[in-house]
């Protein structure tokens, strides 16, 4: 399980081989450590003992910390997870050769494909009920596909030479994607357009919080694959910026989070705010749904895999590609 702790005043402690979550002296949950894969702490005033930290790291359990808005700010993981030196050596070298170009193009292609598939998933329910809106959504889908086709015309030996063009393609595709989403959710919730930092409207706030959970999942997969989370290709280097995490997360945003938030808006229970922040009940429900989505199965290479396992497979494929052990192809979700 992936345990999410968001209530103020919760305390995480150890009792024998079990993790206890207490609040005001009362035990909220008691879980064997071997049943836990990750812990995400998203609330303020949460405490945990050194015994819990040691036990988690011995069991390979990563502890993630995200802010109330979903921004990751810390992670605790065993240091030997980043012990694969050869992979990181090749990752750094790839920034200066064509491998970085191939990966960056794949990440953008995966993002655009999954955005169109999410739109197709929700458009199919309007085919008979609102033919005009259905046709407009498909015009947006066709435009994104046309823009994605431009990726095949780009080539180069260093990512620095192509990054601007890749972001231009990604940005133009995103413009049509968010316009199409506005058509899907517009009669259910106000959507002023995509906002990242400082978003105060319900839809963007929910997206940002869901992305925070996804970032933690992707970063964990990157660490387990022996990659450096700060040495990306599509996203530029900056102190404290996990560029590789931001690169890989692009493939999975629409499939794991966008689709989940749209369902909450269109089918319930909706998104509640507490001032300019998500209400605690909404945060818990959203976290549960995103984690359920990560545990849902998708077709991948003619087999069914949990989405969280596909993320891990893709991280290992990146590592293998960098070491010259195979090709890398972006993941495309079903619709």
pLDDT in tens, the chain (335 residues): 889 998 889 999 999 899 999 998 899 999 999 999 889 998 889 999 999 999 998 888 999 998 877 888 888 988 776 667 899 999 999 999 999 999 999 999 999 999 999 999 999 888 878 889 999 999 999 999 999 999 999 989 999 999 999 999 999 999 999 999 999 998 888 888 888 877 889 999 999 999 999 999 999 999 989 999 999 999 999 988 999 999 999 999 999 999 999 999 999 899 999 998 899 999 999 999 999 999 999 999 889 999 999 999 999 999 999 999 999 999 999 88
* SS3 (DSSP) at 39: strand
pLDDT of residue 204: 94
What are the chain's domains?
A: 2-66 (3.100.10.20), 85-322 (1.20.120.920)
Report the pLDDT value the prediction gives residue 72, as an integer from 0 to 100: 86
**pTM of the entire predicted model:** 0.87
**What's the CA gap between 142 and 191, in Å, rounded?**
22
Burial of 335 (0-12, 13-18, 19+ CB in 10 A): middle
Under 8 Å between Cβ of 42 and 283: yes
Write down the pLDDT at residue 82: 62
**Which of 272, 248, 241 has its CA nearest to residue 328?**
248
Lookup result for tokens 């997360």: 249
Kindly write down the DSSP assignment for every residue of 270-293, as one continuous string: ---EETTEE-HHHHHHHHHHHHHH
DSSP state of 101: H
Residue 217's pLDDT is what?
Answer: 92
Helices 98-123 and 307-322 cross at an angle (nearest 10°) of 160
pLDDT recorded at residue 226? 92
Nearest residue to 65 (alpha-carbon basis) of 94, 43, 92: 43
Strands 18-23 and 38-41: unpaired
- pLDDT tens digits, residue range 52-64? 999 998 888 999 9
The answer to whether the CB of 64 falls within 8 A of the CB of 229 is no
- What confidence score (pLDDT) does residue 243 get? 96
**Cβ-contact 334, 298 below 8 angstroms:** yes
Residue 81: its pLDDT value, please?
A: 66
- Reading the block at residue 179, the tokens are 């316009």
Distance of alpha carbon 184 from alpha carbon 284, whole angstroms: 24
Number of Cβ within a 10 Å radius of residue 297: 13
């Amino acid at each position: 399980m992936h345990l999410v702790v968001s209530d103020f005043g919760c305390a995480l402690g150890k009792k024998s081989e079990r993790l206890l979550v207490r609040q005001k002296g009362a035990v909220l949950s008691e879980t064997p450590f071997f049943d836990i894969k990750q812990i995400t702490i998203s609330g303020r005033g949460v405490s945990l003992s050194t015994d819990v930290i040691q036990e988690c790291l011995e069991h390979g359990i990563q502890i993630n910390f995200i802010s109330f808005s979903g921004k990751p700010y810390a992670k605790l993981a065993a240091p030997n997870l980043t012990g694969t030196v050869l992979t990181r050596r090749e990752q750094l070298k790839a920034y200066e050769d064509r491998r970085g170009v191939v990966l960056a193009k794949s990440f953008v292609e995966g993002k655009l494909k999954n955005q169109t598939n999410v739109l197709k998933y929700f458009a199919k329910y309007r085919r008979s009920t609102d033919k005009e809106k259905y046709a407009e959504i498909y015009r947006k889908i066709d435009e994104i596909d046309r823009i994605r086709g431009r990726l095949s015309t780009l080539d180069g030996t260093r990512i620095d030479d192509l990054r601007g063009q890749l972001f231009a393609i990604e940005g133009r595709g995103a413009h049509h994607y968010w316009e199409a989403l506005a058509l899907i959710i517009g009669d259910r919730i106000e959507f002023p357009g995509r906002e990242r930092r400082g978003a105060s409207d319900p839809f963007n706030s929910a997206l940002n919080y869901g992305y925070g959970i996804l970032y933690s999942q992707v970063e964990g997969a990157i660490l387990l694959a022996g990659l450096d989370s700060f040495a990306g290709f599509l996203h530029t280097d900056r102190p404290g910026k996990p560029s590789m995490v931001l690169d890989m997360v692009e493939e999975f945003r629409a499939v794991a989070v966008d689709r989940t938030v749209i369902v909450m808006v269109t089918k319930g229970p909706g998104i509640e705010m507490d001032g300019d922040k998500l209400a605690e009940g909404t945060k818990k429900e959203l976290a549960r749904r995103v984690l359920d989505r990560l545990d849902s199965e998708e077709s991948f290479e003619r087999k069914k895999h949990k989405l969280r396992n596909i993320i891990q497979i893709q991280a290992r494929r990146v590592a293998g590609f960098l070491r010259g052990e195979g090709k890398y192809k972006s993941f495309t979700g079903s619709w």
